[in-house]
């Protein structure tokens, strides 16, 4: 296994900066997920590590060597693509065997290794089939077997589950994590735009946007301690509510004043030092739809909201509330059936305050 370290890596295509001064460490044996929207630079980063692209600036370390000029075949990394890229004219056995054959591994050893990895992944009965005779999940396992049979130091996966249906994708998330982290302990870098995959599989997540690294942390840190509004709204479903306004001190206490409502804050929770930083400043109040107190009748300190509609997501229901040109989304308690209006307030211990200009977090 090996540590991967990207040191100030930039990749430019013409006038487009695909990866912008990226510094990131992936620890030996870690399962790191690169998460972000399409075009954020995550797949380009993976291709840079694999050697399929060369960095415009910066260095890429695998283990104790810089690999910028090292041929992809000599980096001892294995990559699984979204399309699986199986050879259609070969059997499953031939597909798995191919990288060993290209590396000059003797035939007897090739046969042994293919059978071992096939048994490990539970695809021994598929060895004589062709790719077109396999289901999506089976093709995924064959692609994994072909990559793993080389015993790579680093395993790279580029949205490998996106072509599978929802049920198989859920099953494969668990199987991949178990295989790569617990059974093999191989250093893994996994690219996805799916936050559920990232949150359920990663040891740590690196969130990217427009080629720049936004935040690195455990799934819990990314969800509960976002560093900016991009991370706050990209991770979490439904996304975090962000409301523009100002924090002021009044005779009634510290208030957040927005265009359509006021919210009395807890001065002790915010703290004197933070209050001095955010007071009379244009800010964004953030809170997750799940972290809201709700009532169907008026209560002191609660805000009245007009319901535009209710979105039912399995066991959870979310109300969309109308405030002029903006909406606020809140989770409804079970067995609560609101009509036209509802009363709510965010849990004061779970609010976030962001700078409206820099979008950086000021308080959480």
Please report, for the domain that includes residue 50, its CATH number.
3.40.50.300
Q: Does 204 share its domain with 254?
A: no
Using CA atoms, how far apart are residues 87 and 134, in angstroms rounded to an integer? 13
pTM: 0.88
Range of the domain at 222: 4-234
Q: Does 116 share its domain with 21?
A: yes
Element (H, E) at 136: helix 136-148
* pLDDT: which is higher, 54 or 121: 54
- Residue entry with tokens 């990131």: 24
Q: Does 136 share its domain with 45?
A: yes
Number of domains within the chain: 2
Q: Does 207 share its domain with 261?
A: no
Which of 234, 265, 289 is where one domain is finished? 234
Which of 234, 268, 285 is where one domain is finished? 234
Give yes or no for a contact between 247 and 265, defined as CB atoms under 8 angstroms apart. yes
**How does residue 162 score in pLDDT terms, banded at 50, 70 and 90?**
confident
| Rounded average pLDDT over 62-88 | 89
Q: Which of 80, 99, 98 is nearest to 89 (CA)?
A: 98
pLDDT digit string, tens, across residues 186-214: 899 999 999 999 999 999 999 999 999 99
349: CB partners within 8 A, 6+ apart: 266, 269
**Based on C-alpha coordinates, what's the Rg of the chain?**
25
Q: Does 195 share its domain with 322?
A: no
**How does residue 177 score in pLDDT terms, banded at 50, 70 and 90?**
confident
Q: Does 62 share its domain with 203?
A: yes
């Amino acid at each position: 296994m090996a540590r991967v370290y990207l040191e100030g890596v930039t990749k430019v295509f013409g006038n487009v900066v695909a990866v912008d001064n990226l510094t990131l460490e992936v620890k030996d044996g870690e399962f790191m997920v690169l998460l972000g929207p399409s075009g954020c630079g995550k797949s380009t980063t993976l291709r840079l590590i694999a050697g399929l692209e060369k960095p415009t600036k910066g260095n890429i370390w695998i283990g104790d060597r810089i690999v910028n000029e090292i041929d992809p075949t000599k980096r001892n990394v294995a990559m699984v693509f979204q399309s699986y890229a199986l050879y259609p004219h070969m059997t499953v056995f031939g597909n798995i065997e191919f990288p060993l054959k290209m590396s000059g591994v003797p035939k007897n050893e090739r046969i042994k290794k293919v059978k071992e990895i096939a048994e490990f992944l539970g695809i021994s009965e598929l060895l004589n089939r062709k790719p077109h005779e396999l289901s999506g999940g089976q093709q995924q396992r064959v692609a994994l077997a072909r990559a793993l049979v080389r015993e790579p130091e680093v395993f790279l996966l580029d949205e490998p589950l996106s072509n599978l249906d929802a049920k198989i994708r859920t099953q494969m998330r668990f199987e991949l994590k178990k295989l790569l982290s617990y059974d093999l302990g191989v250093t893994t870098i996994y690219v996805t735009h799916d936050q559920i995959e990232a949150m359920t599989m990663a040891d740590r997540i690196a969130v990217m946007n427009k080629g720049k690294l936004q935040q690195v942390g455990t799934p819990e840190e990314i969800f509960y301690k976002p560093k900016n509004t991009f991370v706050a709204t990209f991770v979490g479903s439904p996304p975090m509510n962000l409301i523009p306004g100002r924090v002021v001190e009044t005779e009634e206490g510290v208030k957040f004043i927005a265009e359509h409502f006021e919210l009395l804050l807890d001065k002790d929770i915010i703290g004197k030092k933070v209050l001095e930083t955010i007071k009379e400043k244009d800010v964004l109040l953030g809170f997750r739809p799940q972290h809201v107190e709700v009532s169907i009748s008026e209560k002191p300190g609660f805000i009245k909201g007009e319901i535009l509609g209710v979105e039912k997501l399995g066991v959870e229901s979310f109300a969309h509330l109308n405030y002029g040109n903006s909406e606020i989304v809140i989770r409804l308690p079970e067995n609560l059936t609101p009509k036209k209006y509802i009363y709510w307030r965010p849990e004061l211990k779970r609010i976030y305050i962001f700078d409206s200009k820099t979008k950086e977090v000021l308080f959480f």
